[in-house]
A and B are shown apart, each in its own frame.
Chain A
Amino acid sequence: MDDLKEIAKKAPSIAELRDKVKQSKTLDNVGGMVKQVFERKEASRQNAHSRLKAVMLQDRTTMTADALMDLRNHIIVLLANFVPVDRRRLEMDIKQSGESLVLTANVRVDLEPQERMANGNGDFEERDWLLSPKRTAALRRDMLDTVGSYMPIFPDSAKVREEHFSTHIMVYTSLRIADGVGFDENAQQEMSVSFRSGEF
């Protein structure tokens, strides 16, 4: 009997039990809230942004989404023959610039830290060019061929340029394409396609 009395003394009162239940519920709620915050779905704004990016690229030409993806892949393969290209770091875009459309595809080649050191702190002149004049000419020719299989191009319009920064190199190439891809069938459009250096 004494034992029982002892146990009863130690046992929590009804009020204490109620508090405990309340507490655990609050904890559950807090846990739920924390979970909600951290497990939030991707913000719908990002969704909108990436969907628009894709649909606008298509709007800006008369090409289908598939053809554009195809072109993008071709450009990656083409450039990879000349410079190290990370396919995730190629950004292709088509924009109106002045009276013509411009397709841009940004290629960034990151430099290893030791390459940067050897570079002597931003002394770009001493760095070797990624592309020799001969290779540049070859890239131009290949671009005309590749992009030319998607849209009409002005012959001799391809340009290639590389720019050196302390941490990376940007490769800039461009070519102009004769009409047919504009959104305005009345305007005799010229479209210039460029693979341009830029920000990521």
Chain B
Amino acid sequence: MQGEVYVVNSGKGGVGKTTATANVGSALSLRGKRVVLIDADIGLRNLDVIMGLENRIVYDLVQVIEGVCQVQQAMIRDKLTENLYVIPAAQTRDKSAISSEQVKELCNKLREDFDYIFIDSPAGIEQGFKNAMEAADKAIVVTTPDVAAIRDADRVIGFIEAAGLTKPELIINRVRPGMVRRGDMMTTEDILDLLSVPLLGIVPEDEHIVVSGNRGVPVVHDNRSSAGEAFRRVAARIEGEDVPMLKLEVSYGIFTWIKKMVGFKRPMGAKA
């Protein structure tokens, strides 16, 4: 088995990298893939709480790299899906604790046993990102549809391309269809025109994400969540399926509400 290594980045912080990593990883494992998620945001560990695994941490990434433990000892098994593991970041160390060579070596080891390795990297173009980037084959850039996030995404995309990775793919997160319709939020076309990268997914603003964070259960496990559906489609695209983008609709009162309550599950493209 030769797994693929993805780095997930954004220029601006707080746009949804960790949310995307947790959900795309979970969705891929729901599809039967073997997946490891590495939290490379040293000092600002987050992925474990989003996944609801914070109580199971024994070792962390820095300890693996320093040889304090075996990589298997640091991998936390997900509580909801099989074949999904998280390697948590060190919370009490700083970014200089690991080098890009070491991250690369670790990923190469993991490739042998997993289909996908996702590195949730810190925002921006600092060392933590460079480490992750050098270990990765492919990159996913997450942005929100606002000027600051897009401008910063552009810088990161420039970096990724200069590093010789394949063209990064874009997830546009927190899209608000009502605002887009009113002309007060840039459209997908506007953003793609500015960034000129392929689109991997469009994820709507969705309250379920906040609830999912509170519970430590990624939103792909919730059939009522439109963001969950969007992330499941991202996973399908990563697997090479040609799935249409989620149609984002402005919600109109009672019908949408009933649909949500019933947990109406839309078919995901041609397949489930």
Choose one: B157, B182, B185, B190; the contact of A96 (CB below 8 Å).
B157
Check B194 for interface membership: any CB of A closer than 8 A: yes
Residues in chain B near residue A60, CB distance under 8 A: 154, 158
Contact B147 A182 (CB under 8 A): no
Give the distance to chain A from B245, nearest Cβ to Cβ, in Å.
18
Contact A183 B155 (CB under 8 A): yes
Check A46 for interface membership: any CB of B closer than 8 A: yes
Give the distance to chain A from B43, nearest Cβ to Cβ, in Å.
23
Check B184 for interface membership: any CB of A closer than 8 A: yes
Interface of B is mostly: helix
* Closest residue on chain B to residue A56 by CB atoms: B154
* Closest residue on chain A to residue B195 by CB atoms: A56
Contact B184 A45 (CB under 8 A): yes
* Closest residue on chain A to residue B146 by CB atoms: A48
Choose one: B158, B182, B186; the contact of A183 (CB below 8 Å).
B158
Assuming the contacts A96-B162, A189-B162, asked whether A51 and B184 have C-beta atoms less than 8 A apart, the reply is no
Check B56 for interface membership: any CB of A closer than 8 A: no
Check A137 for interface membership: any CB of B closer than 8 A: no
Give complex CA distance A22, B122 in Å. Answer: 61
Name B178-197 residues within 8 Å CB distance of A.
180, 182-187, 190, 193-194, 196
Check B264 for interface membership: any CB of A closer than 8 A: no
Residues in chain A near residue B182, CB distance under 8 A: 43
Assuming the contacts A52-B147, A52-B150, A56-B151, asked whether A45 and B190 have C-beta atoms less than 8 A apart, the reply is yes
Residues in chain A near residue B186, CB distance under 8 A: 45, 48-49
Q: Which of B151, B183, B184 lies at the interface centre, i.e. has the most chain A CB atoms within 10 A of its CB?
A: B183
Check A184 for interface membership: any CB of B closer than 8 A: yes
15 contacts between A and B (CB under 8 A): A43-B183, A45-B183, A45-B184, A45-B187, A49-B190, A51-B147, A52-B147, A55-B151, A56-B194, A59-B155, A60-B158, A96-B157, A97-B161, A98-B164, A182-B162
